Amino acid sequence: MYKHECYKIFTRKSIYFAFLLFVLFILLPGGSNDIIQTEEYQALYEEWRGPLTTEEIQLANKKRSELEEQMYQEVEESGDFEGAFPHSMADRASSYVYSSVVWTGGYIDSFEARKENLLEKAMSSSGSAYEAEIVAKELRMIQKLDQPFGFYNTTVWSSTVDFVNTLGFIILTVLIVLGLSPVFADEHSHKTAPLIVSTKHGKGKVATAKILASFTYIASLFVVLHIINVVLEWSKFGAFVDGTVSLQNLYLFIQSPFGLTIWQYYGVALGIQFFASLVIGLLVLFLSIITRNAMLTFFVSGAIIGTPFMLRQLGLEQQFIQYIIQFSYAELMRVKGLFDQFVAFDVFGQPVLYPYLLLSIFLLVAAVNVLLIFRMYKNQQIMN
């Protein structure tokens, strides 16, 4: 029965057509960085790689200023605006490296200022006990990071991680909703629901087979999509290096208080996104039972998942809207918002970190969804 349910899902032509369109889209050229793959850059990378001292940052700033002066001289001599960018690959690589080092120096200054600000708040007696606990919790997390910034080549990691938050989230969501909307609804459109009660397998085993087949579809989709992305990022940017450095070295996570390395975060992000994919799959299956119509299930699922995401894009700041966004399927699926900054919620007077709270809520949602699927499926069969 499980194989039969898998067959029904995997033989739908629409999912292959949609998947092919998405793959063609992510294969479109663009986004590569030729500089980081040159010998000139690699030589400078080996020279500057690692944690940075104040002297090194000042030296990089001086060298960058010298390059800028050279650029201005070229403009004056040539009278051509194209001379504003260094012509030689060596100068381009130098400009890229020195600028990156200087920017990192700015991140270090901001990080130290953040620690000092939190320390001042922690020493202050103003505010409630809960607010003091919030500050103390963030300060402890920040202090454990020591000084996480340095000069590293994180280009390939940055692009790979960002895929989880952007295209990966969109593609997986669309294909899950598209592939699973007909799972229960098709029984009614094909007039087979009344026959299931009389089968030797029984309603419980049928529902279990459908859920397991749906999870198999989600797992296959998830693995294939992320393998394609990893291969694509490697082909564009080269080898995955510096994955063992602190997560804060990725621009999207400069403000993150979590003590994870880049590759650790990527593993966690994949795990959470896979869990979110399963939770979304359960939502679609539940709606498929209720609506008894695949098309209606598709649009209702899309509205539930997509509306909070659209509200985020609109930048609405009302507190109620923010709660809708933060505790949505989309935010769980994107993962980034769980780790890119310090966020905690008051739970019985204790600050609970956002990732732990959101995962706990959706574990409960998933369990309730499974129970409702079996209950609704049983009742619908009796009615038929």
Greater confidence (323 vs 193) lies with 323
Q: What is the pLDDT of residues 241-269, one digit of tens each?
A: 999 999 999 999 999 999 999 999 999 99
What is the pLDDT, as a whole number, of residue 321?
A: 92
Q: What is the pLDDT of residues 273-305, one digit of tens each?
A: 999 999 999 999 999 999 989 999 999 999 999
Window from 22-26, 101-105, 176-180, 299-303 with minimum mean pLDDT: 22-26
Q: Give the pLDDT band of residue 70 (cuts 50, 70, 90).
A: confident
Cα four-point dihedral sign 57, 61, 66, 68? positive
Average pLDDT value for the chain: 89
pLDDT digits (tens, 9 = 90+) for 324-361: 999 999 999 999 999 999 999 999 889 999 999 999 99
User: How much of the chain exceeds pLDDT 70, in percent?
Assistant: 90
pLDDT band at 378, cuts 50/70/90? confident
Print the SS3 string covering 23-84.
HHHHCCCCCCCCHHHCHHHHHHHHHHCEECCHHHHHHHHHHHHHHHHHHHHHHHHHCCHHHH
Quick one: average pLDDT of 53-61? 94
Q: Write phi, then psi, for 350 (nearest 5 degrees).
A: -120, 135
**Core vs surface per residue 218-250: b (16+ CB within 10 A) or e:** beebbeebbebbeebbeebbbebbbbebbbbbb
pLDDT tens digits along 220-242: 999 999 999 999 999 888 889 99
Cβ atoms < 10 Å from Cβ of 301: 26
Q: For residue 236, what pLDDT is reported?
A: 86
Sign of CA dihedral 248, 253, 259, 264: negative
Q: How far apart are CA 74 and CA 82, in angstroms?
A: 9
238: left (phi over 0), alpha (psi -120 to 50) or beta: left
Structure tokens at 221: 């989709």
Spatial CA neighbour of 71 closest among 87, 58, 89: 87
Residue 188 has pLDDT above 90, yes or no: no
pLDDT score, position 69: 85
- The encoded tokens of residue 361 equal 């809520």
Distance CA(337)–CA(256), nearest Å, equals 10
Six token digits for residue 138: 């963030």
Evaluate the CA torsion angle 279, 280, 286, 288 in order and state its sign: negative
> Quick one: pLDDT band at residue 87, thresholds 50, 70, 90?
low
Question: Using CA atoms, how far apart are residues 220 and 213, in angstroms rounded to an integer?
Answer: 11
> Could you give the 3-state DSSP secondary structure of residue 153?
coil
- Three-state DSSP class for 10? helix
Mean pLDDT of 47-52: 93
Which tokens hold the place of 191? 């007039």
Confidence of residue 81 (pLDDT cuts 50, 70, 90): low
